[in-house]
Structure 1
Amino acid sequence: AEPAVKTLLDTSLELEGLYRNASTHAAGIVIGDRPLTELVPLYQDPRSTIPASQFNMKWVEPAGLVKFDFLGLKTLTVLDRAKGFLDRRGAGPEWNLLPLDDAKTYELMASGQTVGVFQLESQGMRDTLRKMRCGSIEEITALISLYRPGPMEMIDTYIDRKFGRAEVDYLHPSLKDVLTETYGVIIYQEQVMKIAQVLAGYSLGEADLLRRAMGKKKKEEMDFQRLRFVKGASEKDVPEEQSGSIFDLVAKFAGYGFNKSHAAAYALISFQTGWLKANHPVEFFAASMSLDLSNTDKLAVFYQDCRRFEVPVLAPDINRSSGDFDVAWEDGQGSVLYALGAIRNVGLEAMNHVVQNRNEGGPFVDIFDFLERVDPKVVNKRALEGLARAGAFDGIHQNRRQLFEQADVLVAYCQSVAAERASSQVSLFGADQAGASRPRLRNVEPWAGPEKLDQELAAVGFYLSGHPLEELTPALKRKRVTFVAEAQGLAEAGHEAFQMAGVVRRKQERASMKSGEKFAFVTFSDPTGEFECMFPPEQLRRCREVLEVGTSVLVKVRAKASDGEVRFFGDDASRMDVLLDDANIGLRVIISSNGADPDALKSRLERARANGKGGEVWLQTTLQGRTEVEVKLPGRYRLDAALRGALKTVPGVIMLEDA
């Protein structure tokens, strides 16, 4: 009755059934025996270089076309890049000739240390690997096929049968050969076809139709196939009751059935990646990090894994690193060279330009030599700041802060040199005086301790050259703090309660499905690695204000170890201030016999003076090479990592000791 409603309905009826957009399968390619225009209508998507069929995937096959999925796998590039690194030292593998019984590869998988290994890197998959302890390529194939929403419920059955904890059921004696490889569990579509062939006399063509029918689950087709299956089985002397129950069981798993040829190809790539990680971890990590160059979170995961595998990662260096991740070998020790292009706000293309310049003109002598040779349009102010914060210039200019804070001056000089180069003007004073116009950089105190590391964190995305809590390690150990590398082993040995410490890196709050209350997963970083801790609702309410990203925290945790995996649960958390305010800690500053800069010492100590709390400081030196003198300073001081790092930069300070 209402005109607006009538217009809406009339318009809707006109539009109903029309396509809103032309969607294209991500990897689907159709191939015919003649020009496609003779078989199907085509559509040219303006965003694509090849046309698409206007028939959807359901109808292109009856029209006479064959469908293919061509998958672009990042892992293949990882393998290829790693082979390039290995070829340099004559160790490049022939991927298709690898020994499929390599013990180190299966040990790696059984340990669950499969971060970066194709198809095997999720937490759940790693837990399953520890339980399953794959020992052959066939078992990897089975795991990849089982670890999906439908057949996942059969994983425990498979594992129990493998280790003899449950009896293997082959459904019928004639099916033993078909199901032996998978301990009686129906996993593959090929097994469904073979069961029909062996038990019910199907031809391979009929068996393929059965496979399709079971996948589609259409009742009429299934009823027809059940009659055919039971009739065929009875001709082979299998009772109707038994063949009917086998059909029902096969139908249940056929819906989940995975194509074995597809799974086997994936399993082979998983094995090759696992072999690379187990046998050549340096090249594995360099290649893997290269493929995640711009994903800082993934790079941080790989960096922690490098530490577990004792693979050194060398900090970015303008005279040694490449634009991309690379490998260096010296005296039989391999290292990953951190990529200049992985530093935030820098860019791979810009760094490739720098590396090309270095290769052609030799190493950069100092920061001005660098600025005189690079193109300011490529290496801009943000790139210069990022490189400085990350420590990439440390080899030619130690003071990171000086370069960062005076980047404007440096970029202006770079631009003026480039302009002069472009106008082909020769310096009035000749080549020897070319440095006369170089700007004088203002003297500033270098970043030290945590501040230096925080700047590095901002540029790289994680702590690379050190850790803010490293300076506090002796004091933390005295407080019976356990670092994560040690806690893992202790937890596996049965210890449950720990006092731990770390800088908060990430915090994810989630609502409980049952109560709706918030709990949190908090990631901490300590000098030996990173660990995740789950804080239940009650504990989170108590500690929420302490658990802020960037805060140094003492954490009381409970640990639970199962199947080689250790999980941490937070009971309480307090700021590191509690430790630093403890009057029982002290610091001894050992000074050379020639003395130390008194003004520098005084200014750093004054900044750390604490009112009533904190620890005491002693100065210790040796007079005339013989007499040891120690002086206790008045007052108390905040003996945090910032003070310790700052004291280490004072000329004449040899070392610090906890007193």
Structure 2
Amino acid sequence: MKAKQVVRDVGRVMGYSFSDVDKIAKAIPNELNITLDKALEKSPELSDMADGDYKELMEHSKVLEGMNRHASIHAAGVVIAPGELTDYVPLYKSTTDDVTSQYDMKGLEELGLLKMDFLGLRNLTVIDKAIKLIEANGESVDIEKLSFENSEVYKLFSKGHTIGVFQFESSGMREFLKKLQPTVLEDLIAMNALYRPGPMSNIDDFISRKHGKKKIAYPHPLMEPILKETYGIIVYQEQVMQIAHEIAGFTLAEADIMRRAMGKKIKSLMDELSIKFVSGAEQRGIQKKKAEEIFSLIEKFAQYGFNKSHSTAYAYVAYQTAWLKVRFPAEFMSANLTSEMGSIDRIVVLINECKKMGIEVRPPDINVSFEDFRPIDNKTISYGLNAIKNVGTKALETIIKERISSGPYKNIFDICSRVEQQKVNKRVLESLVYSGSMDSLEGSRAQNLDAVDIAIKYGQKIQQEVDKNQVDLFGTGESQNELIKTPTLGNSEEWSEKEALSKEMEVLGLYVSGHPLLEHADDLEEFTTVSFEEGQEISKKDTVLVGGMITKIVRRYDKRNREMAFFDLDCLGGHAEIVVFSDCYKSYGNLIDDGKVVFVRGKPSETSDFSDLKILSDEIISVENVRDRLSQCLNIKFAIGKVETSDIDDLMAISKSNPGGCKLLFHLPNPDSPKPLKVLAHNVSVSTNITFIKQLRDKYGKDNVWID
């Protein structure tokens, strides 16, 4: 158990609250393999807690630190021996009857056994699926024979447009790619190896050297051939081995032992190798002090270094996915969406990315959609029916097979008369209605939902007659005894947009045909300080303002029996989890109501790129009050050129007809400076209502009118 884990486990067993234990764990610095003793030295906050109320917790944690927490099985690790495994290693059966080694990977390595990890990779499935979609349209792709000199692919990386691209999706990585401006595969290989705890501190230096902004320097001339491709910076574990070979005369086997000893911090072996390294370097004419400096340098790197072979394989797959995104965007994004059907958050991210790419993801349609997401054309994707809750694979197979063989469905009665009702039951039909999958058929969602029971009975009757071979299947629909008439849809009252979207959310997990927040889009765009769609990284030190609709409220009492709450904030383009502690709840608890649109001001609990954003709330503002509460100054910037007095007069007249409590500030062209001249309109306070702001933006340009 490492430092943070042992504190959390001991705290839980000793009965401390989650918030207390979380506070202690977060006071431990985020440093690779840090111990509790080191953490106490580096964190005054942790030290104070250890000397106070949590002294006993820390003492127990120190005793247990480093011990095995529990027996576990590697998800894909396979041990290979030259003979019967029982001749080399003790075995045991897990709770699921898997035969497992009692030694961990370090023990197995010391025995000389081979452990290999056989891991599945979702992105390879995405590539395979995308290629099949491409081939279905009559084109062929040999993904293993791509040119690695495609400038359009490197442009995609350079712009940071890498959502869906293997290993290069995170917001931090995308920002570094924009700075790096990669032009060759080697740049991607290096960035993949550098973007990890430890070497990440070298990224800015690497980029500056690549672009000639910083001089490339080598610790020793003998290291230049080894480090030339990475601009004098150690990036790969293979470089550590080469340095040991060239500088100290190590064999490659000895160099690999040194690399492993450094990576695992085996002090006794490192001390022994240090003496041998310095001695070997001196024999090659390198001064002792310089040799010690080089050993110290590679020792620091080897603790977190990455194999170039691994990084190359990752960059290779990344390039393949980026190439598909550039060359066949609809097929690639369809494959990505299908692979993420189990994650609503990822579906939202990918649909937002499709919008940026100019690709429309259409709502599910029983006459167009298949089980998975599929491209209709280069700019359109149909929603996968398998993403609808309560609609199983067998039901979809039946529906799609019948549609392909006999043509599109006309209405809900047509569906029920043609499909196997054991598979397409009432629940399936209702979910298809809720999701909007029947919107292209006759009738509204309300009419089709009300007709489900009638349609099922009608379908049963038709199929019974078919089974008896008593129905004329070629047009008349007459049996020997009766004429089976197709029912008609009732005059059901259409659902409100809110009700329709609520049902859509119920079965899809997201809104596809619309969004209940669209009526508040102007307020959300104006005052939300971060963008889910951009996915930029925000620090836990940042104060953010996020607007959205309250859902999934959970009210609790803290250890002092004070009421607090948790809720989800459903935002345009994403969602956030909100934590409202007791002090904030006391002031704003009356605003926490399911479906209410609010703005939340607070700090993220952790640095985040929106994949799991959690905000600790300081203030909650209703959407009705947000403009009055937050608008302090209305800014209007005039375009460069001569500003006529009449322009100001017209603006003042418009402003006086929209009185309010907000200051009015003009930004005028300044002939003596690139910075505009700021002029405050005296004795004028204006409103920031949406109509007035829209009027100003239509006249002066959207970017020239803003609210502080």
> Would you say same fold, with TM above 0.5?
yes
Deviations 1:199-239 (A, max 9, x none): 11112122112112212222221111111111111111100
Change (3 A) 1:548 1:92: farther
Deviations 1:50-97 (A, max 9, x none): 854555433445656432222210100000110111123344332222
The whole-number CA distance in structure 1 between the counterparts of 2:334 and 2:69 is 45
Stretch deviating more after TM superposition (222-231 or 428-437): 428-437
Which of 159, 174, 177 is the matching residue for 1:129? Answer: 177
Q: Is the Cα–Cα contact under 8 Å of residues 508 and 522 in structure 1 kept in the other structure?
A: no
Instruction: Name 2:372's counterpart in structure 1.
Output: 324
Which of 404, 414, 430 is the matching residue for 1:369? Answer: 414
Q: Residue 67 of structure 1: SS of its match in structure 2?
A: strand
1:74 is the counterpart of 2:74: no
Change (3 A) 1:486 1:259: closer
Letter in 2 for 1:148: R
Instruction: Name 2:635's counterpart in structure 1.
Output: none
The alpha carbon displacement at 1:385 in A equals: 1.1
Change (3 A) 1:325 1:487: closer
The alpha carbon displacement at 1:392 in A equals: 1.0
Q: Is the Cα–Cα contact under 8 Å of residues 550 and 595 in structure 2 kept in the other structure?
A: yes
The whole-number CA distance in structure 2 between the counterparts of 1:213 and 1:251 is 9
Q: Residue 244 of structure 1: SS of its match in structure 2?
A: helix
The whole-number CA distance in structure 2 between the counterparts of 1:345 and 1:316 is 14
Which of 441, 445, 470 is the matching residue for 1:400? Answer: 445
Stretch deviating more after TM superposition (399-408 or 255-264): 399-408
Which of 275, 289, 298 is the matching residue for 1:250? Answer: 298
The whole-number CA distance in structure 2 between the counterparts of 1:431 and 1:63 is 80
Instruction: Name 2:238's counterpart in structure 1.
Output: 190
Which of 75, 93, 110 is the matching residue for 1:26? Answer: 75
**Structure 1 residues 362-511: aligned runs within 5 Å:** 362-418=407-463, 424=468, 426-427=470-471, 432-433=477-478, 436=484, 438-468=486-516, 472=519, 482=526, 503=549
Letter in 2 for 1:369: D
What is the Cα-based RMSD across aligned positions, in Å?
A: 4.5
Q: Is the Cα–Cα contact under 8 Å of residues 146 and 152 in structure 1 kept in the other structure?
A: yes
Change (3 A) 1:44 1:411: farther
Instruction: Name 1:215's counterpart in structure 2.
Output: 263
Q: Is the Cα–Cα contact under 8 Å of residues 360 and 380 in structure 2 kept in the other structure?
A: yes
Change (3 A) 1:20 1:347: same
Instruction: Name 2:152's counterpart in structure 1.
Output: 104
The alpha carbon displacement at 1:40 in A equals: 5.2
The whole-number CA distance in structure 1 between the counterparts of 2:224 and 2:231 is 9
Q: Is the Cα–Cα contact under 8 Å of residues 529 and 546 in structure 2 kept in the other structure?
A: no
Instruction: Name 1:647's counterpart in structure 2.
Output: none
1:342 is the counterpart of 2:390: no
The whole-number CA distance in structure 2 between the counterparts of 1:165 and 1:520 is 48
Change (3 A) 1:72 1:54: same
Task: Please give the TM-score of this superposition, normalised by the length of structure 1.
Answer: 0.70
Q: Is the Cα–Cα contact under 8 Å of residues 376 and 418 in structure 1 kept in the other structure?
A: no
1:296 is the counterpart of 2:344: yes
Q: Residue 433 of structure 1: SS of its match in structure 2?
A: coil
Change (3 A) 1:63 1:418: farther
Letter in 2 for 1:357: E
Q: Is the Cα–Cα contact under 8 Å of residues 304 and 530 in structure 1 kept in the other structure?
A: no
1:176 is the counterpart of 2:224: yes
Q: Is the Cα–Cα contact under 8 Å of residues 450 and 492 in structure 2 kept in the other structure?
A: no
Q: Percent identity?
A: 37
The alpha carbon displacement at 1:524 in A equals: 5.5
The alpha carbon displacement at 1:152 in A equals: 2.5
The whole-number CA distance in structure 2 between the counterparts of 1:164 and 1:520 is 50
Letter in 1 for 2:79: V
Letter in 2 for 1:147: Y
Instruction: Name 2:136's counterpart in structure 1.
Output: 88
Letter in 1 for 2:165: V
Which of 318, 342, 352 is the matching residue for 2:397? Answer: 352
The whole-number CA distance in structure 1 between the counterparts of 2:101 and 2:577 is 51
The whole-number CA distance in structure 2 between the counterparts of 1:232 and 1:508 is 66
1:279 is the counterpart of 2:327: yes
Q: Residue 157 of structure 1: SS of its match in structure 2?
A: helix
The whole-number CA distance in structure 2 between the counterparts of 1:406 and 1:544 is 42
The whole-number CA distance in structure 2 between the counterparts of 1:178 and 1:509 is 60
Q: Is the Cα–Cα contact under 8 Å of residues 434 and 503 in structure 2 kept in the other structure?
A: yes
Q: Is the Cα–Cα contact under 8 Å of residues 314 and 337 in structure 1 kept in the other structure?
A: yes
Letter in 2 for 1:352: E
Q: Is the Cα–Cα contact under 8 Å of residues 504 and 525 in structure 1 kept in the other structure?
A: no
The alpha carbon displacement at 1:36 in A equals: 5.1
Instruction: Name 1:263's counterpart in structure 2.
Output: 311
1:241 is the counterpart of 2:289: yes
The whole-number CA distance in structure 1 between the counterparts of 2:456 and 2:146 is 51
Change (3 A) 1:545 1:105: farther
Instruction: Name 1:153's counterpart in structure 2.
Output: 201
Change (3 A) 1:549 1:308: farther
Q: Residue 310 of structure 1: SS of its match in structure 2?
A: coil
The whole-number CA distance in structure 1 between the counterparts of 2:70 and 2:150 is 50
Q: Residue 29 of structure 1: SS of its match in structure 2?
A: strand
Letter in 2 for 1:27: A
Deviations 1:476-528 (A, max 9, x none): 76x896598999999x9xxxxx9997656799999xxxxxx9999975645xx
The alpha carbon displacement at 1:124 in A equals: 2.8
Change (3 A) 1:339 1:232: same
Letter in 1 for 2:76: A
Instruction: Name 2:636's counterpart in structure 1.
Output: none
Q: Is the Cα–Cα contact under 8 Å of residues 462 and 484 in structure 2 kept in the other structure?
A: no
The whole-number CA distance in structure 2 between the counterparts of 1:147 and 1:543 is 41
Letter in 2 for 1:291: S
The whole-number CA distance in structure 1 between the counterparts of 2:554 and 2:252 is 53
Change (3 A) 1:520 1:264: farther
The whole-number CA distance in structure 2 between the counterparts of 1:509 and 1:179 is 57
Change (3 A) 1:524 1:350: same
Instruction: Name 2:689's counterpart in structure 1.
Output: none
Q: Residue 231 of structure 1: SS of its match in structure 2?
A: helix
Which of 120, 132, 153 is the matching residue for 2:168? Answer: 120
The alpha carbon displacement at 1:535 in A equals: 11
Q: Residue 379 of structure 2: SS of its match in structure 1?
A: strand
Q: Is the Cα–Cα contact under 8 Å of residues 533 and 570 in structure 1 kept in the other structure?
A: no
Change (3 A) 1:40 1:424: farther
Q: Is the Cα–Cα contact under 8 Å of residues 189 and 311 in structure 2 kept in the other structure?
A: yes
Letter in 2 for 1:128: F
The whole-number CA distance in structure 1 between the counterparts of 2:552 and 2:91 is 49
The alpha carbon displacement at 1:304 in A equals: 1.3
Change (3 A) 1:377 1:305: same
Change (3 A) 1:39 1:373: same
Letter in 1 for 2:268: E
The alpha carbon displacement at 1:132 in A equals: 3.2
Task: Please give the TM-score of this superposition, normalised by the length of structure 2.
Answer: 0.65
Deviations 1:523-555 (A, max 9, x none): 5645xx558799999999866654656434589
